[in-house]
C-alpha cells in the first residue's frame, strides 16, 4: 500500500492520465483547471510533509539539547553534594573530634559511636581527602585524628556547633 508522498505522486500520475484522456475528448478547459488544482494540492501536501519532518527533527534536537543540559546540571549538583553534604556517621565523627581537640584514634572513635572500625577508617580517610580532618602518624603509635579548619567550618556552616 502506498503512503504519504508516494501516494500523492501515484494519485497525481493517475489523475494526469485521466485528464489527458478527457482532453482528447473535448473537455479541455475543465480538465486543465481540475488538473492544475490537483497539482497545486500535491505541491502543498508535499511541502507540508517536508516542513513537518524538519519541524519534528528540530524539536528532537531541541529536546536532546535540553536533556543534555539537564544531565550536566544533575552531574554538577551530584558533585557539589558529594563534597558538601556528609552522612550521619561522618558528621558524628566530626562532632567527636570537635569535643576532643587533642585528637582521637580510630579505635576510640569506633567505640564512642559504636560503629565497626573499618567503617570509621573509611569515613576518616574520606574526611581527610575533603580537608576536614587530619591524621598524624607517630612511630609505633596509632594514628591520631584531629579536626582541622575545613571540619570546623562545616560544623559551623551547618549550625552543628556555635
Residue 162 lies in a domain: no
* Predicted local distance difference test score (pLDDT) of residue 83: 46
Enumerate the H helices of 85-148 as residue ranges.
88-99, 106-113, 117-129
Please report the pLDDT score of residue 86 as a whole number. 77
| Boundary residue ending a domain (67, 84, 101) | 84
Q: How far is CA 3 from CA 6, 7, 37, 77, in A?
A: 6, 5, 21, 48
In this prediction, residue 157 carries a pLDDT of: 87
Q: Which of 63, 84, 105 is the last residue of a domain?
A: 84
Whether 64 and 113 share a structural domain:
no
Range of the domain at 126: 88-157
Report the interhelical angle of 88-99 vs 117-129 (nearest 10°): 80
Can you give the pLDDT at residue 99? 95
- 128 domain-assigned: yes
In a domain, residue 71? The reply is yes
Note down pLDDT in tens along the chain; length 162 residues: 445 555 566 556 656 665 666 666 555 565 666 666 666 667 666 666 666 655 555 555 555 777 777 776 666 555 544 445 678 899 999 999 999 999 999 999 999 999 999 999 999 999 999 999 999 988 888 999 999 999 999 999 888 887
Please give the Cα distance from 112 to 133 (Å, whole number). Answer: 17
* C-alpha cell, 128: 581527610
Contact between 146 and 97 (Cβ < 8 Å) = yes
Q: For residues 34 and 74, state if they share a domain.
A: yes
Q: How far apart are CA 140 and CA 143, in angstroms?
A: 9
Residue 45 lies in a domain: yes
Cα dihedral 116/121/123/125 (nearest 10): -170
CATH number at residue 147: 1.10.10.10
Whether residue 144 is contained in a domain is answered as: yes
Considering the entire predicted model, what is its pTM? 0.49
77 and 42 in a common domain: yes
Give the count of domains, the chain.
2
Residue-level pLDDT at 1: 45
At residue 87, the pLDDT reads 86
Amino acid at each position: 500500500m502506498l503512503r504519504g508522498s508516494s501516494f500523492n505522486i501515484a494519485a497525481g500520475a493517475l489523475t494526469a492520465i485521466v485528464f489527458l484522456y478527457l482532453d482528447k475528448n473535448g473537455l479541455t478547459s475543465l480538465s486543465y483547471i481540475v488538473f492544475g488544482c490537483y497539482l497545486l494540492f500535491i505541491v502543498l501536501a508535499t511541502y507540508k510533509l517536508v516542513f513537518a519532518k524538519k519541524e519534528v527533527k528540530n524539536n528532537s534536537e531541541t529536546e536532546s539539547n535540553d536533556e543534555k543540559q539537564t544531565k550536566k546540571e544533575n552531574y554538577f549538583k551530584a558533585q557539589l553534594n558529594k563534597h558538601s553534604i556528609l552522612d550521619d556517621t561522618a558528621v558524628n565523627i566530626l562532632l567527636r573530634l570537635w569535643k576532643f581537640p587533642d585528637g582521637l584514634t580510630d579505635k576510640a572513635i569506633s567505640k564512642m559511636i559504636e560503629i565497626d572500625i573499618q567503617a570509621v577508617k573509611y569515613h576518616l580517610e574520606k574526611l581527610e581527602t575533603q580537608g576536614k580532618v587530619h591524621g598524624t602518624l607517630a612511630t609505633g603509635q596509632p594514628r591520631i585524628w584531629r579536626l582541622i579548619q575545613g571540619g570546623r567550618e562545616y560544623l559551623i556552616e551547618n549550625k552543628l556547633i556555635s
